A and B are shown apart, each in its own frame.
Chain A
Amino acid sequence: MKPTDIRDPEYFHKVVDCQYACPAHTPVPEYIRLIAAGQYTEAYMLNWESNVFPGILGRTCDRPCEPACRRGRVEEKPVAICRLKRVAADYKGEVRSLMPQGPFPPNGKKIALIGGGPASLTVARDLAPLGYEIHLYDNQRKGGGMMLSQIPAFRLPESVLDEEVDYILNMGIHTHFNCYVSSMREMLAKDYDAIFVGTGAPRGSDLSKLPGRQEGAANIHIGIEWLANVAFEHTDRIGKRVVVLGGGNTAMDCCRTARRLGGEQVTVVVRSPFKDMKASPWEIEDALREGVTILNCMPPKAFIVENGRLKGVLFEHVEAVYDENGKRSLVPTGQPDTFIEADDVLIAIGQENAFPWIERDLGIEFGKWDMPVLDPVTFQSTHPKVFFGGDAAFGPKNIITAVAHGHQAAISIHLFCTGKDLHRDRPAPTVNIFQQKMGVHEWLYDSYVVNDRRYAVPHAPEEVALRNRRMEVELGFDPELAYKEAERCLNCDVQTVFTTNLCIECDACVDICPTSCITFTHNGDEDDLRMRLNAPANNRTQDLYVSDTLPTGRVMIKDENVCLHCGLCAERCPTSAWDMQKYLYQVTKACKIWDIARASVAEPV
């Protein structure tokens, strides 16, 4: 193998599994250390710079970081990254004064943001300090988009949502609420320099062809519409027996909301096997805790309506069969159909994009599945002035993805409005690398690896929580629990940096490494090397760090997979050929939002 080029910013970035997995590349270990140090305000601001909604995401994020967490590879469960983020939000001090302070000198450019969800709000935050006149349009009564209409208040209190939305709107954003944009032509006719579309995936999929759908319509609801009606207080009760169709997070939100509005016997029915359910495991866990029943491998066959009144749903039984390519098909098992009584049915089987308001003769091209044709890097549509982001760009994903899109779209809009090239002039990520050595056994980071298992977040008692749909179920970590959980972080951003010409090949690092990551051997190709290392190296998603050739003709190979970042290799190295260096990778934003250097643990502000 060729020597690893550690000057490539992506090499060490990839080692920070959580940050790499996060669409917005939030510097997770850095903010977890800040939380451990009790610097909640700084931890919050670091998050805010990166993901804009720490309080919201700390409760609702899809957490792509957690399955990626190295802890989960060396013991049972990952660090509770998401809920630590919430700790930063819960215990932060005054933050408004740390944010960019308006009014900002106008730069003479005007932009429109259509939709008031996370993508648009991110664009607004990144561009407002640059002096753009920003107009935000949304058909709801206030900002937040799907975070407001679809996420139930028992998971995300409205006060938390409002606080973080207002941080942005108060930067001088011109809001046009209760205003449905019905024509892109009209928008383009206004004098906006650029238009950003962040309208999400507003249409819930239906089962319009299923028998009984029309007849039972009064008691059959589309999940996201029903959730919005609950949020806007148009709906405040549901029947005692409720069937929820679908296995995603919306289905979980529906069944849990139903439990709070009078649903006593709430059954979620999924057509596929449990293991293929799209809902996050923790959402499923919470639903089960609240007494919801979940059945699998049962696609609905018909809504049963008698005398004009919904009686229930008839399901058939299937099993998943996989062909040689691993493609799944659901094959009926022949078991007799099952009838489940229901007063109300909630359909939560997916969401679709819909752009009925964008005329098709404006130069905005639409492609497969009637989705806009976009540049995947710049988010620019085929109309140079029009940009897309969030669920509106590539279909339904999640909040953190929408935020990541927002950052990139903001950069594109700024480059576009200043006459620069959207590809060539895109800013590279910023990378800072800091030596951590203080003494022979002393480091700037807390290198000790604790054995603690993941701490559970305290919940409100069910009997109380189920009585009030606005009562937040999760109570969040208190500072003491947060500290303990934070200490489980392995500091994967503190990198093991190897300098070939300092190494005397004494083997001290090999002998001390608790997880046997390091091997000195003759070089070979990757397949061959993976067979010859001191410990199994079967995780091919994790890189091998390969040194230059050493004086004995061998190379140092480090399997990044289960390195604990404990620093013992560096402590035992007589020549400092190994060094622990903190690697801070940040996605560059359209403008400088907040200076991370002010929040280093080593230099308290």
Chain B
Amino acid sequence: MTYLRPDIRHPESQRNALGYTRKYYEGALSTLCAGCGHDSVSGAIIQACFELAIEPHRVAKLSGIGCSSKTPTYFLGNSHGFNSVHGRMPSVATGANLANRDLIYLGISGDGDTASIGMGQFVHALRRNLNITYIVMNNGCYGLTKGQDSATADEGSKNKTGHVNPFHGIDLCGVAIELGATFVARSFSGDKGQLIPLIKAALSHQGFAFIDVLSPCVTFNNNPGSTKSYDYVREHMEVTAAVDYIPEKAEITAAYAEGEACVVTLHDGSHVVLRKPDPAWQPTDRIAAMKRLHEARQKGEILTGVVYLEPAGRDLHAMLNTSRRPLNSLRESDLCPGSAALERINAENR
């Protein structure tokens, strides 16, 4: 029995702006099935955080239950982590976020954890525009309990036993747009070229950034007839626009011809460049985004890339006018400001 990862890394490993190599963003060795799409998503998260030069102690990873929710162990080993109850990650994330808005929140969930047991939690986090990056590793099945169809399994998709799913699948991107998420994207674990810039943009976005990542279950849902297999997704991927993420410090050097690219500036000054978009499409147009999702589904396409992006949306803290400072830094004098302050408040209400 070996299954231990050597400590040695490439001797010429690159360092990011903080001087860290990629190794500093790695986690424990994965215990998922060999070939699981989730491991690629973990790899993309590691790469995105490395490239963004995020200080690992500024990240809080939160997850529920399931194969996907195990993955926070396998990346960002130097960050905060909370493995919560099945489907309840959105509530824990909401509480954590309200208590300390300075951290970068990364919610990891699966199609079962989000679209079944956690649906009630998920929708409320959406409508509050919680400032979080919420990644669903979506494989259309319950891999941890041996491959039953999940709520995101497409109608007509065939599982490993030959059973054809008779139910309509939930389109989580559609739900997210409908309920108020301000960054909605879809991607594929097997396309890191697209997934990494999306994760970087999502982490930089202020508000609910939702990424539905099709992440094949190599053990239970990678068979012919499945609509979430490696082969099927590759054959049916349709892209809204190629995505580049440009951090705030870097200038946009490329010149884009009219209609060639759509540049969206995020809250922190970084940019999302959407190259070669459909000329009629505006990423900030919620109705058009819904329409495109429906059209793609009708045509049997899997629409990927940024589906909807509204960088100016107000997040939960703005809506509730919450404390600027983390709650753990508030002293007694802040919480009980004394009789003079009380006098002033009373005077305001007279």
Contacts and interface: CB of A to CB of B under 8 A. Distances in A.
Interface of A: 73-75, 440-443, 446-449, 451, 504-508, 510-512, 514-517, 535-536, 538, 551-552, 562, 564, 566-568, 571-575
A514 B6 contact: yes
A448 B4 contact: yes
Contacts of B13: 516, 535
B230 A504 contact: yes
A596 B29 CA distance: 37
B2 A451 contact: no
A508 B40 contact: yes
Contact of A514 (B5, B12, B14, B37): B5
A575 B2 contact: no
B279 to A, nearest CB: 27
A506 B8 contact: no
Contact of A574 (B35, B43, B190): B35
A515 B8 contact: yes
B288 to A, nearest CB: 30
A449 B230 contact: no
Contacts of B231: 504, 551
A345 B260 CA distance: 81
Contact of A564 (B6, B37, B222, B230): B6
A552 B192 CA distance: 14
Contact of A441 (B1, B39, B192): B1
A516 B10 contact: yes
Contacts of B14: 536
Contact of B9 (A504, A505, A515, A573): A515
A508 B29 CA distance: 12
B2 A506 contact: no
Given A73-B11, A510-B43, A552-B234, A573 B6 contact: no
B4 A451 contact: no
Contact of A573 (B1, B34, B216, B230): B34
B46 to A, nearest CB: 8
Interface size class of B (residues with CB under 8 A): 35 or more
Interface of B: 1-14, 22, 29-30, 33-37, 39-40, 42-43, 189-190, 192, 216, 218-219, 222, 230-231, 234
Contacts of A511: 39-40, 42-43
The residue in A442, A507, A514, A568 that gathers the most chain B C-beta atoms within 10 A of its C-beta is A507
Contacts of B219: 574
Contacts of A448: 2, 4, 6
Given A511-B39, A572-B34, A572-B35, A562 B6 contact: no
Contacts of B234: 505, 551-552
A508 B39 contact: yes
Nearest to B22: A516
Nearest to A75: B8
B190 A536 contact: no
Contact of B36 (A75, A508, A566): A508
A535 B43 CA distance: 15
25 contacts: A74-B11, A441-B1, A443-B2, A448-B6, A449-B7, A449-B8, A504-B222, A504-B230, A508-B40, A510-B43, A514-B6, A515-B10, A516-B13, A535-B12, A536-B12, A536-B14, A538-B12, A551-B231, A552-B234, A564-B8, A566-B2, A571-B3, A571-B34, A573-B34, A574-B218
Contacts of A451: 6-8
Contacts of B190: 505-507
Nearest to A507: B40
A442 B35 CA distance: 17
